Amino acid sequence: MPIETVDLLVCTTCRSASPANPLAMPDHDGRPGAALVQALQEAAPEGLRIIPVECLSNCSRGCTIALRKPGAWTYVYGNLAPELHLPAILEGAQKYRAAAQGLVPWRERPEHFRKNCIARIPPLEAPNV
């Protein structure tokens, strides 16, 4: 049975995890979002596709990611720092992949995910949406 693939979208234009100074780093190569992409690409297990994106429009809440898979809810998380949250992101992605419709029970999510969920978006296929 093939491993289900989960997309992990990572904002490459995120500049800072600090709400006090969200525009602290002007160059693209030095941005924490770009560093997070690189770290995830090096550490991603089979079935986790890292997709760099230009902007997730969550600039005031630092590095931002989104988890999605077909027929499942999409989750957007922020306030991530490449040097601190890589293990939590990988754990959260694994739990998301294993969960029916992407619905990981709140208490089973990494602590950072519980406190920094920006949005939960229903699947495109959801009835009554």
Please give the pLDDT value at position 3.
72
pLDDT tens across 30-84, in order?
Answer: 788 999 999 999 999 999 999 999 999 998 888 999 999 999 999 999 999 988 9
Give the CATH fold of the 6-121 domain: Glutaredoxin (3.40.30)
Please give the pLDDT value at position 47.
94
Task: Show me where the domains of the chain are located.
Answer: 6-121
pLDDT tens across 8-32, in order?
Answer: 999 998 876 554 444 444 444 578 8
> Which one, of 42, 54, 53, lies nearest residue 8 by Cα?
53
CA angle, 29 as apex, 51 and 39 as ends, to 5°? 50
Report the C-alpha gap between 113 and 111 in whole angstroms.
5
